Structure 1
Amino acid sequence: MPYTATFVPETQTRADVDATRGPLVLEFGANWCGWCQGAQPHIATAFAQAGAAVPHVKVEDGPGRPLGRSFRVKLWPTLVFLRDGQEVARVVRPQASAEVEQALRQIAGG
């Protein structure tokens, strides 16, 4: 599952995420968010450059949304990079694709 373009309402619980094997990227934000829209070219480029088939789940976040709160998301977009349910890296409001690519490499390899 490569880069995903649209945020969707959360369908996973924290327990589901913690039980996930392998790499996973959770991106918290909203489709109407200007910061999120501005970051998308950097995120899409990073996924294309990395070439790894890392699952990318865009989670529509907001007040009272338990998954975002469990990761203590404060700003959008926030990308949480996980391997086997454990957070390995986090990128908040990426300004360049390189920082996203570096985090992808951290979870895609091992």
Structure 2
Amino acid sequence: MSTFKPYLSAIEAPSLADVQAWHGLTLLEFGTEWCGHCRAAQPLITQALAAQPHWQHCKVEDGPGRALGRHYRVKLWPTLVLLRDGQEVGRLVRPAAAQDIESAMSKA
């Protein structure tokens, strides 16, 4: 069992309108619990968020027909969409190092 925060299901996930209404900095993560790439990225994301505590983190389970993932044109997992006040300001796909995530977050 994972010690990491679970992905929000299709029922729990925010709508696009919800996301666009968010204030501040948010790391919106798309993936699934069973994805090996997503599992491997969890410690990296946790480390990056620890270094950037002013960021919120929202994990959304993605899959075919999921409206939020389609809006952001998610093709590979995990995809990290960096948001400032609900608007995309950066993106990382399958990050390989916490430093890459931290760098993108510091530029947002």
Same fold (TM > 0.5): yes
1:1-110 map, 5 Å: 5-10=5-10, 11-50=13-52, 52-107=53-108
TM-score (norm 2): 0.88
Tell me the SS of whatever aligns to 1:5: coil
**CA RMSD, 1 decimal:** 1.3
| Runs (5+) with no aligned partner, structure 2 | none
TM-score (norm 1): 0.87
Check whether the contact 2:27–2:81 (CA below 8 A) recurs between aligned residues.
yes
1:41 deviates by 1.3
For 1:34 and 1:47, the matched residues in 2 are separated by 20
| Runs (5+) with no aligned partner, structure 1 | none
1:46 deviates by 0.8
For 2:23 and 2:50, the matched residues in 1 are separated by 22
Identity score, percent = 52
Tell me the SS of whatever aligns to 1:53: coil
Q: Which runs of 4+ in 1 moved over 2 A?
A: none
1:61 deviates by 0.4
1:25 deviates by 1.1
